[in-house]
Amino acid sequence: MRMSQVQFVSYINLDAAEPATLADALATQRAAAAAHLARCGGHLVAEFREIRLDGFEPARTELRKALDLCQRQGATLLVARLERLARDPAFLAELRRDLERLGLRFAAADMPEASEVTLGLMAVLAAVDGAPAASAERLARKRDYFARVIDRQRRDAVEPGQARHRPAAPARARHNRPCMRRTMERALSVAPVLAEIRAAGATTFEEVAHALNELGVPSARGVRWYPSQVRQVEKRIASVA
């Protein structure tokens, strides 16, 4: 093993009630984990398997063992199949807390865009009116969109000594420019978080505001978010797209 390789501990979650046999499901998840390791050049330290019997929730003892080994080895937890586990907001929230408490990294073989932050967003939104969990494709599209927005904003920024020649603005407009600039900078600073919340399934301003408050993201005034604030911020972000 090369010293530069990232170490992974694989966690495979099987369901005895699924149509496929356990052997087929195990082979599928192992293949997904192997593909992830090949993409990132990682090294598999160990594999842990959990089997959910019909009508019974597992105690997640194998997951605890996997987390313990990750902590001892400095490895990243690799969930072979997050899509099914994402239906349980309580599990997602607990896993997010455990990862944060132990200072561990996380990856999902079937959702390469997933991260520790995404886990928290998925848990919050799955608990709000049964909002659906994020898909890697939607998350990637949102991240790509806001990355373009921020990149364009930076490219359009005027460097000192390279000011563009524009007609002089009215005195009131010139006076308001610093405030408007700070407002736009604030909106763009929360754009990536808003993108992940939307990608995780939030469809209304109320759901986005709830997620921001649950995640502890302060508003511009340092207080709670409200749907009207979300609407204004997203409108500002869209104006530079």
Backbone angles phi, psi at 82, to 5 degrees: -85, -25
Report field, pTM of the whole predicted structure over 0.85:
no
The answer to whether residues 11 and 104 belong to one domain is yes
Confidence at residue 130, expressed as pLDDT on a 0 to 100 scale: 52
Domain containing 140 equals: 136-156+174-239
Does any domain span residue 1? no
- How many separate domains does the chain show? 2
Does any domain span residue 60? yes
The answer to whether residues 22 and 95 belong to one domain is yes
Does any domain span residue 129? no
Region 40-62 average pLDDT = 84
The answer to whether residues 141 and 104 belong to one domain is no
pLDDT digits (tens, 9 = 90+) for 27-40: 999 999 999 999 99
Does any domain span residue 106? yes
DSSP result, 164-231:
---PPPPHHHHHHHHHHHHHHHHHHHTHHHHHHHHHTT--SHHHHHHHHHHHT---TTSS---HHHHH
The answer to whether residues 143 and 104 belong to one domain is no
CATH number, residue 57: 3.40.50.1390
The answer to whether residues 189 and 231 belong to one domain is yes
pLDDT digits (tens, 9 = 90+) for 78-103: 999 888 787 777 888 889 889 989 99
Determine what percent of the chain is predicted with pLDDT higher than 70: 71
The answer to whether residues 152 and 228 belong to one domain is yes
pLDDT digits (tens, 9 = 90+) for 128-180: 545 444 455 555 554 555 455 445 545 554 444 444 444 454 544 444 566 67
Instruction: Out of 8-12, 62-66, 108-112, 186-190, pick the least confident.
Output: 186-190
